[in-house]
Chain A
Amino acid sequence: MTAVGGDRLRTKRRSLKNESAIHFLYILPFLILLAIFAYLPLYGWIYAFFDYKPPIPLSRSPFVGFKWFASLVETQVKIDQLIQVIKNTFGISGLMLMFSWLPMIFAIFLNEIRAVRFRKAVQTLTTLPNFISWVLVYSIAFAMFSSEGMVNGLLRQLGAIDSPILFLQDSSHVWLTMWMWITWKSLGWSAIMYIAAITSIDESLYEAAYVDGATRMQVIWHVTLPSLLPTYFVLLVLQVANFLNNGLEQYFVFQNAFNKEYIQVLDLYVYNLAIGGGSYSVSVAISMMKSLISVALLFSVNQLSKWLRGEGVV
């Protein structure tokens, strides 16, 4: 190695380090934004360890340690409640995980439609339910499924039943019905991500497949699907991390005394606690736990992905 070559190597290493630093500087402003808006407010988790009652400021509030966390499992009745709530959350999140591939398949087969106008129309129109707020969805659901609603009216006209079926108060298929509503509402919209991904697939791959005489299904299996899998797995990992976060609105509008036992997911349970006059500190305690569990889940599944597929997502 000549002296010049050694120099070049050194400058290359130095410029590599510089490049690292420069790239970091590029993203630094954004990281700062993140630090301010996402990390700074986390000091608020302290409220979970105090008995905070506004307007008394935190500095004058009594410190209670892990009291709120313990209070969730104080008595047998509470433990039973909490277990049921967790079961509900698992049930619904579980169903959603089981069918997490639906948007992908939706996008793939949508893409298979040759008629451009029809395809575009379907794509646009299937996103409509996403824009209807849950409150309004419930109004529509009520209009359709109440004892005087359309469905019961139709069934009665056909002579299928004598007295109305109380769909909305039914407690036996709650998870399934909730899952169906979510799917109806979000399928078209979530498929957008996969539709975008499909358009980036190199056309030459398709050409090669056709030249080899592949049928449509084979093309999908060997070309389209594999290209979408990276996106799918990323979203899957995120979905697992979000296991405990079902959201509030949907379950809130559909809940009533009869289905409450099975519809009360964790988010709704927390809301009912807080709104019923529960203290602010309790809701912070619970949301803190959920955050920590989500992050833990994220890294666990990520590790799993590394073992199974050879690469992680995060």
Chain B
Amino acid sequence: MIKDRLFSRKAWIICLTILMVAAVVLAGCKSSSGGGGGGSGSSGSSGSNDYSEHLTITVFSNAANYQGEQTGWYGKLLKDKFNITLNILAPQVAGSQLYNTRVAGGDLGDILVIDNSQLEELIPAGMVLDLTDMIQNTKHLSQYVEKHFKPFNSSFTEVNPEGRIYAMPTFIAPTSPTTFSEELPYSSPILPWDYYQGIGAPKITDLDHLLEVLKTMRDQYPKAPNGLPTIPITLWKDWDGGSMENVRWISNWYGYEHPEGTTTIQLSASGDIMPLIDDRSNYKKVLQFLFKANQMGLVDPDSAAQDWNKVAEKLTNKQVLLLWYTWQRGFYNTIARGMNGDGYAAVPIADVHILQTSDAYYGNGRVFAIGSKAKNPQRIMDFLDWYVSPEGLRYTINGFEGFNYERTEDGKFRLTEIGQTAFQDNTPVPDEYGGGGYQDGQYKINSLIIGDFGTDPETGEFYNSNYWSHTLAANDTKLRQEWQQMFGTTNATEYYIKNNMIDIVPNINTSLGSDSSDIKNKRSQISDYVKDASWKMVFAKDQAEFDQLWSKMQTDVKGLGWDDVFAVDSERAQKIIRLRAEALANQ
């Protein structure tokens, strides 16, 4: 009756083999994951630099978009220097529940890269180490304690009354709380330069004029270089948080921002707190602008249904006319195109008054901390110390000398040929440095303590290679020159500053507290409502519908608990205003 057997002999053999393989895998993995330093848990095991035992460090990073071990050239670097391997856990990949479950289980990770609000929760739960003593003994980190770490940690007054140091903020720009070092504000009007020249480079006076300009531009250039139609304005819903994200950032042009941690208010540089649903708010003003744009047929009809990837394609194809995020230029602009005067550039509108937060002197929303269950905090501390040292920063941000950049006669750095495209092309790295592709081997933690606007003591320039004098010289394209000629300054930021069209407010970094469950629920329902209503308003049939949607929203959100959430947000805004004043005073 062999025919009647469900599985043939062969299948049985295969199954048994698989079972054995599974058993081996199982045995193998149990031993490797059980590993990880039997070193003493107490801090500073006599400060010895004994790296003989290999350590796998679990890094829980909110910023990472990759989950797995750090491999490639950066992985080899860390192995050689500290004999560690970083195992990255990424909530962006595994989902936000990763935080909840691990926290419930009592062990979040060895190195934590988490939000301010999460830090605020973890301190009283005893899940982060007190670093005050360890940090005094470091070579580089200790330099930043007085001016950066201490004020930051002290601002968590409720959970950290003694001002101990629990965490180091990320992306610190050690310039000053009133400097803004980037060449363009984070959000400002950006148009294709050659098109702008083509229609006669009119001086744009206000938003209505901008619409006309966009219309003229579209009529004159109806198709992008690849033959697809030109789209003056395109929107997308992917990043909508408390409101329509696109509207939020255009609001910045007129002096009101949505502070992180709030969803119902707009805040101006002078401390004016304006509710979103107020008739005089910038939010309404920008919605009105987009509505008009749509009435004139200038808005992408697919905006509501598309996702960011689609938008990215359109940006790469030069289909979109109006941009506002400074980094959107990177999709299309290249040096080669710039030489032909072709690319996106800032085009100031006369009546804007941009609100821009300064360099992140106190860091930027997230922190590096060490988990309380970490097995070898000293080595982690050594690693983090290296992470902020000039050497560490150079490696992490720019790769390595001789490959990505080289030293020049005047003691500065310059990007090599390879260096200019190593990231995009994932150029193979020589084996002695670790092999693999450059991009694959890049650091996956995706967050820095001292950011790329730190100054390299050797060259006196920023770590950010875009701002190296040699890079700027190489980027001195026709586009840049024409721009400089027309507007009379080196870059757009300078122009705005010179003409009093920008307010640079200190970048305050602190936790504004997390919501109670009550407020959380109300906030999420209100946000949903506001988002949907906003989209409908932009695409409303006529002004009457627009107005009707707006008033309905004003009443409906009250029914969802607007007043309570607004009260919480106002309180937070007050804290921000106060801290900003302090930062200015302490300068």
Contacts and interface: CB of A to CB of B under 8 A. Distances in A.
A contacts B directly (C-beta below 8 A): yes
Interface of A: 51, 53-57, 71, 75-78, 81, 142, 146-148, 164, 166, 168-169, 256-258, 260-261, 272-273, 275-282
Contacts of A168: 302, 304-305
A142 B300 CA distance: 14
A169 B99 CA distance: 35
B138 interface: no
Given A75-B559, A77-B560, A257 B517 contact: no
Given A54-B100, A55-B103, A77-B556, A146 B521 contact: no
Nearest to B104: A54
Contacts of B531: 257
Given A54-B104, A275-B96, A257 B523 contact: no
Contacts of A280: 100
Given A53-B121, A78-B560, 18 more contacts: A53-B517, A54-B99, A54-B121, A55-B125, A56-B121, A56-B125, A81-B525, A142-B305, A142-B310, A168-B304, A169-B304, A256-B305, A257-B535, A258-B304, A258-B539, A276-B528, A277-B523, A279-B521
A257 B515 contact: no
B517 A279 contact: yes
A256 B185 CA distance: 30
Contacts of A272: 524, 528
A-B residue pairs, 3 tightest by C-beta: A276-B524, A257-B535, A77-B559
Contacts of B516: 51
20 contacts: A54-B104, A55-B103, A57-B125, A75-B560, A76-B559, A142-B305, A142-B306, A142-B310, A147-B301, A148-B302, A166-B302, A166-B305, A169-B304, A256-B237, A257-B534, A258-B536, A258-B539, A273-B525, A276-B528, A277-B524
Given A77-B559, A142-B305, A166-B301, A278 B520 contact: yes
Contacts of B306: 142, 146
Contacts, number: 99
A166 B304 CA distance: 10
B337 to A, nearest CB: 24
B302 A146 contact: yes
B265 interface: no
B127 interface: yes
Contacts of A257: 237, 304, 531-532, 534-536
B161 to A, nearest CB: 19
Contact of A169 (B305, B514, B515, B524): B305
Interface string B550-587: 00000010011100000000000000000000000000
Contacts of A77: 556, 559-560
A71 B521 contact: yes
Given A148-B302, A169-B305, A258-B536, A277 B515 contact: yes
Contact of B228 (A148, A260, A273, A277): A148
B229 interface: yes
A276 B100 contact: no
Contacts of B104: 54-55, 57
Contacts of B535: 256-258
B99 A78 contact: no
B352 to A, nearest CB: 27
Contacts of A53: 121, 514, 517
B493 interface: no
B122 to A, nearest CB: 6
Interface centre among B121, B127, B532, B539 (most CB of A within 10 A): B532
B527 interface: yes
A169 B237 CA distance: 13
B129 to A, nearest CB: 15
Given A260-B532, A272-B528, A273-B525, A164 B301 contact: yes
Contacts of B99: 54
Interface centre among B96, B518, B528, B556 (most CB of A within 10 A): B528
B46 to A, nearest CB: 32
A108 B127 CA distance: 61
Contacts of A71: 518, 521
B365 to A, nearest CB: 16
Contacts of B527: 276-277
Given A258-B535, A272-B528, A277 B520 contact: yes
Contacts of B237: 256-257
A277 B302 CA distance: 28
Contact of A273 (B122, B305, B518, B524): B524
Interface in B74-131: 96, 99-100, 103-104, 121-122, 125, 127
B52 to A, nearest CB: 34
A78 to B, nearest CB: 7
Interface centre among B96, B103, B104, B310 (most CB of A within 10 A): B104
Interface string B485-529: 000000000000000000000000000001111101101110110
Nearest to B126: A55
B240 to A, nearest CB: 9
A111 B228 CA distance: 47
Contacts of B525: 78, 81, 273, 276
Contacts of A146: 302, 305-306
A84 to B, nearest CB: 12
Contact of B103 (A54, A76, A142, A256): A54
B543 to A, nearest CB: 19
A310 B515 CA distance: 55
Contacts of A282: 517, 521
A172 to B, nearest CB: 15
A168 B539 CA distance: 14
Interface centre among A51, A146, A261 (most CB of B within 10 A): A146
A51 B517 contact: yes
A280 B523 CA distance: 14
A275 B535 CA distance: 20
A213 B83 CA distance: 83
A278 to B, nearest CB: 5
B110 to A, nearest CB: 16
A294 B45 CA distance: 57
Nearest to B539: A258
A142 B514 CA distance: 38
B304 A256 contact: yes
A276 B523 contact: yes
